[in-house]
A and B are shown apart, each in its own frame.
Chain A
Amino acid sequence: MSTPIVPVTAGTPVDDVPASGAVLGKISYRIPITYAVLAGAALLGLVGTMIGREGAWSQTTEFQSRYGDQWFTIPNFSVPSLLTVILLTVALLAAAVYGYLLTSGRKAVPVWLHIVVGVAFVLAFLTWAGAGKSAVIPVTSLLAGALALSVPLIFGAMSGIVCERSGIINIAIEGQLLFGAFAAAVVASLATAPYLGLVAAPIAGALIGALLAWFAVSYHVNQIIIGVVLNTLVLGLTSFFFSTLLADNSATWNARQPLGVIEIPLLSQIPIVGPVLFRQTILVYLMYATVILLQIMLFRSRWGLRTRAVGEHPKAADTVGIHVNKRRVWNTILGGAIAGLGGAFFTIGSGLAFGREMSAGNGFIALAAMILGKWNPTGALVAALLFGFSKNLGNVLSTIGSPMPSQILLMLPYVITIFAVAGLVGRVRAPAAEGIPYTK
């Protein structure tokens, strides 16, 4: 057998001997392994539990895409459950094999494959959950709800990025969200103008950010401790005002003031995606703007370059005349304002009155999203959406009576984060000077 002569270029393995890995560096099979785990879960957990069931082959799952009024709607449609699950599982297995081939050939796994795997797994899961049920799976409202639940997480994660990229750890996101929710509700109610609440919320959040910056920068208090203290402070303050003022005079102080839904013409008519993304309150549109702007500014602007320098190597920034602590203070205040704005979603954003402990741990999940997104706005966006989706999936499944307890799904964000921080999702590198006070 003759060996064909292959021109040697970068990335082309000269031979098939795996020992060449010693020269080129170890191949990481993280991605195909993750795919294989998902395919295996689908095979054992979904196909395995269905196939033995009596009449499994005749069961169907009904999906619904209608959501509000639209010019054009896809009617509800049913699929044969077991067959669909099997086909999707086969697709997952194929993706795992393809991913393995790509990786062992030292080629990058394309992004679309991630999306295919994710969508296939979720669809398989939904089909399985709705098999033989009289209830339909409301696809569009599932997505819309997921986006809604993600909004405070996304704002929170952006807040974390703005602070931590400059070197200040913001554990106070939870408190900033809560204070933003509180301020938005109270101001909107007093003024009977929901849009004024939208102004009050970031100011409230910025206030907490300023306190954090003040203690962290001027007094070098441990940033995690001061963050936790601020969370407790806000919780106490808002609860106190809630029981002394808001609860008794809710008509004046805590009336519902929902932000109106703004429909973007044309775009909102796209099936499934349209109403999810473009039939929203202004707060959601502000969220889109924040993520896009932050992604551009952080990596393409003077502010971003200086922010990252201050968070990575403050002394180097100082030697070129950048005021390290000033930059950190302003970023922390800005971060607080972003989280405060996110907090407005709990009250005026979802048309609710303020309630005790409304933020319900979202600030901490936002931090997890920030870490999972590797301190990048788009990465954190995807992570927050994932968290929001798994949370809403839990909600939806519990209403249609899923065979899987919804509590398990609600655990998902935390499980993912633990794996992410443990390094499974790739190298997670925090800004080098994070949490370290800067002194000359």
Chain B
Amino acid sequence: MKLELQGITKVFGPLVANDHIDLVVEPGEIHALLGENGAGKSTLMNVLYGLYDPDDGQILLDDKPVTFEGPGDAVRAGIGMVHQHFMLVPVFTVAESVALGYEPAGPGGILDLGAARRKVEEISERFGFHVDPDALIEELPVGVQQRVEIIKALSRDARILILDEPTAVLTPQETDELIKIMGELKAAGTSIVFITHKLREVRAIADRITVIRRGKVVGEASPESTETELASLMVGRSVNLAVDKTPAELRDNELVVSDLTVLSGSTPVVDRVSFSVQGGEILAIAGVQGNGQTELAEVILGIDEAAAGSVTLDGKELLGMSVRERLRAGIGFVPEDRSTDGVVSSFSIAENLILDLYDTEPFARGVSMNLGKVAENAEFRTQEFDVRLTDIQDPISTLSGGNAQKVVLAREMSRPLRLLVASQPTRGLDVGSIEFVHKRIVAERDNGTPVVIVSTELDEVLALADRVAVMYRGRIVGIVDAREAGPAGINRDVLGLMMAGVPLEDAVQQAAGHQSTLASADAAADGKDLT
């Protein structure tokens, strides 16, 4: 079946998740949708699957326009989807999961589980899935759960299969098997839309590639493109947010992280990570979202627990200290999710500015609070950080994202800092706010504070960092010195490749060996010379 999306637009409040996206998937084609996290790929597929109503644009199947009220309509039209987070009920058996919604049933609605079982067995056999129809979902490994999802889609005669980040949760071996399965499905005539941000897989399996960035289609590519070309397309060449900054003047105070491991269940999400940051420099932790950066930042503050390793600040061990003790030790922390972790949205701006100091002089006097001082502090800080507001007593939820983030920064920087950790400091902010936030962070660095920035935006990483550590699957792939950055050394292409797990030296080689037109254009746009 041929699938065509024309001008699909989806808006969530101020965020344009999909901006007039056009996409054509030919019958029997594996079409990769490539883009960074948050680029709008999943939103687009949820629109296609009837989970979201598009605000504009239309969907055509075999050149006939269709509208989907819900996933039921999409399924009837022949679209199947394997979600990134599996849509399986853990306490059901495989047969029940596959039957759900399309149950073979006899009189009185009594299930014909025998028929459901046979269906699973038949599809399982046809593609060599080896899935036991009576196994409980929660007892199956993720790779097998994913096959159950594929069986589910196939059992409803899906002719277009959407795979949303299917390899995100798989081991390398499981990924290989999935790629084989995709080949077989293609041979059987199924069109596949393969959503990913992983370059290797795209080149290994896709027939055509559409790259999406910030909700827009930025280009098409063929699988013959090099990873470098794909990386630069995916990461983009948007406005260069150049930040004026002098070379780092290193001081003696430092944060040292050694062999730090954080477990989620029994799998390490931060895997033996070591690095150090000296006073007066900015270390940016780059990487695709979900590679352990969040946990790393949280474990430094103490809201996540380390399984092994050590974190010392100016020679003092931080692990084992409470969050409060760490804050008192001089850590400033800008959390990744401002609205849930950064502020209490129903509290006033003034109250949010003293969340960390509410119980100390001058804001507290015994058991009561000195509201005069709280207000005074709020007036001063909001002016200092240029927060645009009507009244400091308004709830912080009335502020725009940029202004709320300035409040968070104002609070975190109002203490004498020995370390600043900022996760995604400019996510969702407008250009003006981004500039301001960057300036304040650089100012803190120039004060002699070690600064750790976690960012998935390469633009930001390159603008701020003195050194860049790239994380992939919980490990640091490599740490590069941004001062060496240049056409021959470290650039956006190299970092992009490292974010896909390519080790530093290979990445440098690949990026240098395959200087493509795209890469040249990229470099030209950055105002750098090509050698």
A interface residues, Cβ below 8 angstroms from B: 296-297, 300-303, 305-306, 308-309, 312-313, 315-322, 432, 440
Contacts and interface: CB of A to CB of B under 8 A. Distances in A.
Interface in B43-102: 49, 51-52, 70-73, 75, 81, 83, 86-92, 96, 99-102
A313 B89 contact: yes
B109 interface: yes
Q: Report which residue of B51, B102, B108, B113 has the largest number of chain A beta carbons within 10 angstroms of its beta carbon.
A: B108
A312 B100 CA distance: 13
Interface of B: 49, 51-52, 70-73, 75, 81, 83, 86-92, 96, 99-103, 105, 108-111, 113, 152
B111 A316 contact: no
B51 A320 contact: no
Given A313-B88, A316-B88, A301 B101 contact: no
A318 B68 CA distance: 14
A315 B86 CA distance: 10
B72 A321 contact: yes
A71 B51 CA distance: 67
Sorted nearest first, the 8 A-B pairs with minimum C-beta distance are A321-B72, A320-B101, A316-B87, A302-B109, A302-B103, A301-B109, A313-B89, A319-B87
A310 to B, nearest CB: 9
B81 A319 contact: yes
B214 to A, nearest CB: 24
Contact of B71 (A297, A300, A319, A432): A319
Contact of A440 (B51, B89, B100, B152): B51
Given A305-B99, A322-B101, 19 more contacts: A301-B108, A302-B105, A306-B100, A308-B89, A309-B100, A312-B89, A313-B88, A316-B88, A317-B101, A318-B51, A319-B49, A319-B71, A319-B83, A319-B87, A320-B100, A320-B101, A320-B102, A320-B152, A440-B51
Q: Report which residue of B83, B86, B99, B111 has the largest number of chain A beta carbons within 10 angstroms of its beta carbon.
A: B111
B110 A320 contact: no
A320 B51 CA distance: 11
Given A309-B92, A321-B71, A321-B72, A316 B105 contact: no
Main SS class of interface, A: helix
B75 A320 contact: yes
Contacts of B152: 320
B83 to A, nearest CB: 7
16 contacts: A301-B109, A301-B110, A305-B92, A305-B103, A306-B103, A308-B91, A309-B100, A316-B87, A317-B101, A318-B71, A320-B71, A320-B72, A320-B75, A320-B101, A321-B71, A321-B101
Contacts of B99: 305
B53 to A, nearest CB: 10
A319 B52 CA distance: 11
B91 A312 contact: yes
Contacts of B108: 301
Contact of A303 (B49, B100, B109, B113): B109
B89 A309 contact: yes
Contacts of A322: 100-101
Nearest to B69: A321
A301 B105 contact: yes
A303 B152 CA distance: 19
B41 to A, nearest CB: 17
B69 to A, nearest CB: 10
A50 B110 CA distance: 56
Contacts of A312: 89-92
A313 B109 contact: no
Q: Report which residue of A297, A303, A320, A322 has the largest number of chain B beta carbons within 10 angstroms of its beta carbon.
A: A320
A312 B108 CA distance: 23
B111 A305 contact: yes
A297 B106 CA distance: 12
Nearest to A323: B70
